[in-house]
Amino acid sequence: MAFNDPRVQNMLRQEGGKAYGAYWYIMEKLSLLPDMEADLKYLKPFATRNFTYPYMMKIVTKFGLFTVTDSCFSPVQLNTKCVAEPQKVEENTAENSGQNGKKYPDNDVKPGKNAGFSTKNRQTMDKKRDGNESEMNCNTPNISGLSNENLQQKENIRDIITTAAKEKEISAAAIDRNNSSDVHQYFANFTAPGSRTSAFLHAELLKLEAAEQSHSLDPYRFEKRIGGQRTYMGCPIPDEAPPRPEDNAIWNDRTKQWILPRLRSKAAS
């Protein structure tokens, strides 16, 4: 129901569909954080040609869709039944002044205006229903009068389809057995002791093992450096931040620490 929220509608009237896309783009980036609250500068690394940083700041600060306090922002809950557009508050108050103080009028149906219409429609539907029932009764003998020859043809077709499916399964199983045997034989020859291919394979495995050990000793192995700046997932890392502990850790600028997914799930529960 987010699209029907008055604040979203107000934004669409002023900015169009691009603003709607920018709003959900911002919400997508906030969902990466445990509490969906971030510093205003958090959006800078996510700026694109279509969603520039100034334009995203306009969406955050102008339309009442986010709460901004002390240079931090977080989304507000959208509720179409409880929030009215600022420019229509006076109109709603005047229109609903005689409706027992309700902000939104009940959608009561006036019986005097619609009673005849409903009765006429009901009569028409009854006639169509009776006609359909009569047509079904007339066609019933034709359905029950199917010849035994037609039924036998259907059974034969069903048998042919079933037999073809079984033959296809048997053929596929035979091909799999032959392919599996060929693969085992090729692999046995490839890794035979003393062969040239076996020595090459052993050397490559040693290289991979050495590379993994060297990589595991690097404390910054879960980060990337772009122009001397430590980054992860396109986001800058503060200089005072410790090395990123895991490949899926996220930096929380408010608590000044790395957040791990298992800790996020515990906090949410």
Amino acid 44: pLDDT = 92
Amino acid 153: pLDDT = 67
Q: Which of 20, 25, 22 is nearest to 10 (CA)?
A: 20
pLDDT tens digits for range 255-269: 989 998 775 555 555
Contact residues for 102 (Cβ-Cβ < 8 A; gap 6+) = 96
Amino acid 187: pLDDT = 77
**Helix or strand (DSSP H, E) at 77:** none
Amino acid 74: pLDDT = 94
CA dihedral of residues 69, 70, 72, 76 (deg, nearest 10): 0
Alpha helices in the chain (DSSP H): 6-15, 17-30, 53-62, 89-95, 111-144, 148-190, 196-216, 261-268
Q: Any idea which residue has 């990589």 for tokens?
A: 215
What are the mean pLDDT values of the chain's consecutive 10-residue runs (269 residues total)?
Answer: 90 94 94 90 92 94 92 85 50 43 37 42 54 49 53 70 75 70 77 82 84 75 89 91 90 90 59
Structure-block tokens of residue 173: 């199983």
Dihedral sign of CA atoms 26, 27, 30, 36 in order: positive
Structure-block tokens of residue 235: 């986001």
Neighbours of 8 (CB within 10 A): 20
Q: Which of 41, 82, 81 is nearest to 60 (CA)?
A: 41
Neighbours of 11 (CB within 10 A): 21
